[in-house]
Every structure is written in C-alpha cells, then in structure tokens.
Amino acid sequence: MKKATATIYHDTLRPKEDGTCSVKIKVTFNRKRKYFSTGVDLTPDDFDKVFYGKRKTKDQKAIKTKVEYFEKKAEDVIDKLKVFSFDIFKEHFLEQRNVNDSVSFAFDRYIENLKLDGRIGTAVSYECAKVSIEKFKKDLTFADVTPLFLKKYEKWMLKQNNSISTVGIYLRSLRAVYNAQNIDKSIYPFGVGKNKYTIPTSKNKKKALNIKELGKIVNYKAKSGSKEEMAKDYWIFLYMCNGMNVKDFCLLKWKDINGNMLTYQRAKTKRSQRESKLISVALKKESLDVIKKWGQHSIDKEAFIFPHLSKNPSPEEIRKVSQQLTETINLFMKRIAKKVGIDKNVTTYFARHSFATVLKRSGAKIEMISELLGHSNVGVTENYLDSFENDQIQKETDVLTSMFKKAN
C-alpha cells in the first residue's frame, strides 16, 4: 500500500494583497492532494531566503523552524495512522499543531467545525475575522489576547475605516473561539468593568415601513409574470409570514403546511438550540395566493414549495441560492420603493422589521411578537421594533391638552 507524504508547499498561485503567499503543508495520498495552513505567509524571495539561503537572520531561522515543525508533525501523524484517510489525518493534525496556543489554528479548527455543521455563512464570517486579526498581528497567541490588545485592535480597525458594527462582529468571533479553549478564567479579557474589554455594539438602524408605505407596495402593479412581480410577491410573503428570512423561505417544504398554518424551524437556530423551537405562521389569503402563483405543486411532502433548490441541496448551494434570491428581491424592491415614493432603501430586512413593528403598534404583546419571530429572548425583539409614527404620538398625547379645550 502506498504511504501518504507531507511536504512544505508555497502557494504562489494565490498571492495576497501584500504580495505574500501562504506556506502550507501539502499532503499527498493516492494522487490526491490537500493543503494545510501553517499560519506563515512569505513573498517568493523571502521563501527562498528562509529555506534555501545560506545565511539566515534570527527571524528567518525561527520561521524555518516553525514550518518544519509542522511538516514533522504531519509526518508523525501519517506514521501513526494504521489506515490513512484525509479526514482522520486532518483531525489529528489540527490537534497536534495547536500546541503553540495559536489563535490562527484555533480559528481554523472552529471554522472547520462550522463547515461540517453546514453553517457556511457563519464560517465565512469567522474566516474574515481571522484574516483581519492576522493582518493586525501575526502569530497571535491566546496569551496575547488582553484587554489592551483588544482596545488597540479596535482602534486600528476604526482607522482602517471599518464600522463599529464590523469591529463587534469580528471580536465576537474571537471571543467564541477563545471560549472554546481551556484557558484559565482569571485572565479572561472580555467583559464589563475594570481590567476587562467590552465588545462594542452599534445602535440598530430601524428598518420598518409604516402602514401607509406598506399600502403603497401592496397596491403597486408590476408586470404579470415578471421578476419584479415575483420579487414584490416574495417580499409580501416574507412580511406576512412572521418576517421570514430568504434562506428559510427557500427551505420551506409542503409537509410544513397544515391547512392554513405553516410550521417551520429557522435554519439559523437549528444547531444553536438543543430543543427544536418551531415557528407557527398563520397563512392569510395573500400568502396562499403567493404559494399558488409561484409554488411548484407536488404530492411529495418532502418537496420544496418554491422552485429554487435542488432535491438534496448542499449547504453551499443553499447559501448561494438564498444569497442570489435575496439580491434579486432587494434589487426590485428598491426600484418599487422609488417608483411609489418611499424614501427608504427597502430590502428583505424591512419585511421582518415591519412585521414586528406593525404588530407592536396594533397592541400585541412583545412576548408574543418575540415568539412569532423565533427570538431567543424579548431583548432581541425590542431591537426590531421601530419608534411610533408621528401621527400616532400626536393622537396619544392629545390628552395633555384636554383641559384647555374644556376651559374654552
């Protein structure tokens, strides 16, 4: 039986913006190759100096030692495996290479698990966070992650014209990876108070339409059978169905419908909650009309209602299709909003925020709205709720002037 081999590989085919290329460990078995990051990036000239130069600096020697360490570890893993497979090798190699307390390697492991769970979008977000943090400080270890480091990173990110929202997203990713490690809690850097770093949060910009604006969209006449009509109908369906997101829309199956009720579980929370939390939707005539017009009718209860996904879609396909459909809906909804005189950048988010806000203004309890949205707690729901309309404020505060009217 042929034995797998491990060699150092400089990925010059995928140069980064700064001209450096990743140094990887190439594992070959039965003519198949897979590559594993070492966390080292070098220009072609620096690579030659580090591995083939006769006179090396102290830093170059350290880099060479680090990369060769991973090459040796890969060879050791191969030698210990009685039966080789890339999946088993990957599991053992990632365990072995994490001995240096490397944040980069911990991110890789976390990202790999996200991909295995089918959480492709989240994995991409964590990958962006990893790249950003590596750009700020290479070879970062968990011992380096202190409140002072986090403050410096935040300041650096803002100087790079990143939003405070992006800073928060990346640092929450770092915190999640940090929490997955077995590190002494006494040096935990995140939190509130003295000697702690609080991850910044941006104020959620309200994205709700009022009743008058919703009426303009509903009454807009799009060309029959056009993409514009489809986008409008889909947006109204999302609004009517508890502010459903596009990914869940694509995943709806005929088995989810029972009479005039639709029951489904948000894809976003399937793996984050131990108990399956189902969302119940009251299907109104308008929602049923959209299903009748655009749905692909089938006697197979496992078939998708809307014709956008293949029968057994991969996580990558689900993400790609839902993103493309979201872009299509947003494109046409922005055009429709402009045509009917709505001065707002209407997107699918507006459907969700508008659903929550309209219910709030009708007098519905926040607890019920939270349940219908599928939120984990009421606090999350409150961020969706827009401020009351000016005319409603005027009406409700008329009581303040009632005594003057009586006096007259």
CATH assignment, 1-99: 3.30.1520
Minimum mean pLDDT among 36-40, 198-202, 398-402: which range? 398-402
Q: What is the DSSP string of 41-79?
A: EE-HHHHHHHHH-SS--HHHHHHHHHHHHHHHHHHHHHH
Which architecture does CATH list for 211-393?
A: Orthogonal Bundle (1.10)
Mean pLDDT, the chain, integer = 86
Minimum mean pLDDT among 250-264, 280-294, 349-363: which range? 349-363
80's tokens: 């210990």
pLDDT of residue 358: 86
Q: Do domains 1-99 and 101-202 have the same CATH topology?
A: no
Domains of the chain, residue spans: 1-99, 101-202, 211-393
* 344: DSSP letter: S
Mean pLDDT of 393-398: 64
What is the tens place of the pLDDT at every residue in 134-186?
Answer: 999 988 888 788 999 999 999 999 999 999 989 999 999 999 999 988 777 77
* 185: DSSP letter: G
| Nearest alpha carbon to residue 49 among 64, 70, 67 | 64
pLDDT of residue 181: 83
Whole-number Å distance between alpha carbons of 133 and 127: 10
What is the tens place of the pLDDT at every residue in 28-56?
Answer: 998 899 998 887 889 999 999 999 988 88
Fold classification of 101-202 is: DNA polymerase; domain 1 (1.10.150)
Q: Does residue 243 come out as left (phi exceeding 0), alpha (psi in the -120 to 50 range) or beta? A: left
Alpha-carbon separation of residue 105 from 20, 71, 174, 178 (angstroms): 19, 15, 12, 12
What is the tens place of the pLDDT at every residue in 63-86?
Answer: 888 888 788 888 988 998 888 999
Residue matched to tokens 């210990």: 80
Mean pLDDT of 280-304: 92
Whole-number Å distance between alpha carbons of 373 and 381: 8
Alpha-carbon separation of residue 52 from 44, 104, 386 (angstroms): 11, 26, 63
pTM of the model: 0.62
Predicted confidence (pLDDT) at residue 390 exceeds the cutoff of 80: no
pLDDT tier at 303 (50, 70, 90 boundaries)? Answer: very high
Task: Give the Cα-Cα-Cα angle 259, 263, 267 (nearest 5 degrees).
Answer: 150
Predicted confidence (pLDDT) at residue 226 exceeds the cutoff of 60: yes
Whole-number Å distance between alpha carbons of 114 and 92: 18
Are 190 and 178 in contact by the 8 Å Cβ rule? The answer is yes
* 271: DSSP letter: T
Torsion over CA of 59, 60, 64 and 67, rounded to 10 degrees?
A: 60
pLDDT of residue 274: 47
Whole-number Å distance between alpha carbons of 239 and 231: 12
pLDDT tier at 99 (50, 70, 90 boundaries)? Answer: very low
